[in-house]
Structure 1
């Protein structure tokens, strides 16, 4: 049965859903690591000014951590230009809720010392074995184990971007992203029907890949970054279907796909379980769109659209209509995320990733 695996008992409250993801073990771990980092900082830093706020540090409690996360989430809803603005007493900016949760200095201290792992166990940037994901990898692992969801058969995989300009080897440039073009890339797997994120992992280039997960019986939609004929064959052996666009320069495509297509022309080719289609929809397209599918049919469907003020009936391949219907899961997920996330700059790139995952 598709949908949530666990639903809190009636009456359901938002905090019950919060605890499905922010488990006691996760929260206690963050409390421990944050306090450890603060103590280590105070013991090892030699040039702390006698008037520095860090000297007022007191160990964070579990209750305070929950309040800190609540502040982060509410800062995305009630947006202000600076952190200090949330503690302003100006009549036009006054938000008493934040002052009732923390003093400004206490919140900024927790933000400064916030940590997920023990730095003593991590290799430095110039040391062998350095992992740029190490400081937030436990949170990714925790999130992927707690999505509590049985997806529909149709899934989509695509990229998402944690927008940042911080210096890190994880930095990627994605010119097709409208919200951000520079940032840290996540590969996301979403339910194409509900748009719910099922799992994700961080892209760090060819040095490391995501986990090899089995999606037996599912139908995955993907763009031309992933799609290839060997991948389609291999996944079909694992009883996983795929549909997606493919680049014209990929190997083993039908030679006829290199020919010129007339507007409205469709060509199908079948090789074993793989159905390939080329379709030239309109004059503005220089080349036809090419798709592969191991779960498609060489049929066309009619649909109506408005063209220059006139409604016309158009026939397009069933594979393309399925692709357009089920490929947008990640874009919708991003849209919901960016409307509820505080994208304030941070000095530490890994904190930006953490707070993005929180949201």
Structure 2
């Protein structure tokens, strides 16, 4: 039984930076309580905004087991391995474990060091496939040692990570000083992604034989056209000129080099027609 905590609370972390740990703990416990699964032996997977030794120990005492990536600067972590370049972690696949009662901390070298914390797992290792560059310049898949802790986290948080990845595509977010505006547009992005997923699952929109499924980009473009299609016009604004155009602008056209990159009237009218 697993449960993934997925919220947008990290959008407003700057506003509550002084109470980040307490905020994250309250969010997780409120989600479990709201879902009615608190204290029932569920496995909870969360990202590094929420994971902390205090939270995982508290959940363990309430018979809820948790796992997640963790920020290396959290209080209560083993400092000998929870750092950017821990000793002995050099090559891809290197790992180190530390355990304190139910808490298991691990650092694993992939492209970069990954740190995680769990009350579900032990020091068991498994293998994962990675595309690695060979000496001759080609790329090939190889099996790389990996803690089962991180392999399970990747498996159960895969949907969340994929959603975060999709939300970065074709995003219209802009910098703003108002955090409420950022939350609003983030919610719009999530609504667009949810609508796309429902669209793919709808039996009325399945692609026919020989047709490809609508991509996320095409879906986004269709939303844009639907929103602005009835509010745009290709008609030229302003009063029409009462003066007749010179013959050189409508008939004979001599090319020449001009400092401006603007189109001449003849070229514009030809392309427009």
TM-score bin, normalised by smaller chain: 0.3 to 0.5
Task: Give the alignment's TM-score, normalised by structure 1.
Answer: 0.37
Larger-gyration structure (1/2): 2
Task: Give the alignment's TM-score, normalised by structure 2.
Answer: 0.47
Task: Point out which structure has higher relative CO (alpha carbons under 8 A, 6+ apart).
Answer: 1
Q: Which has the higher helix share?
A: 2
